[in-house]
Amino acid sequence: VYNAAPAWGVTVGDALAVPDPVVTQHQHQHHGQTFSFLGIRVSSPLSLVVNGKRPPPSALAPPRLALSNPSAPL
């Protein structure tokens, strides 16, 4: 689950409802083999329903800021 906090997750046997999913077909080729699978994305782990309840706010990973400047001298 993208953007989920490391300490939060779902386990085998949990009932999971995915409102407004975005389903994407992925196809990748590597060394002559083709891999095809579906990906399901939601806007936030907080939009899921796990065992009939919404996850707590702590289920959302905190934002991180990453900066890069390729033209900066080393």
Please write the tens of the pLDDT for every residue from 25-55. Answer: 999 999 999 999 999 988 889 999 999 999 9
pLDDT at 72 over 80: no
Q: Quote the DSSP letter at residue 70.
A: T
Q: How far apart are CA 1 and CA 44, in angstroms?
A: 9
pLDDT at 73 over 80: no
Average pLDDT over residues 3-26: 92
Q: Is the pTM of this model over 0.75?
A: no
Percentage of residues in the chain with pLDDT exceeding 70?
99
Q: What are the E-state strand segments in the chain? A: 16-17, 22-30, 33-41, 49-50
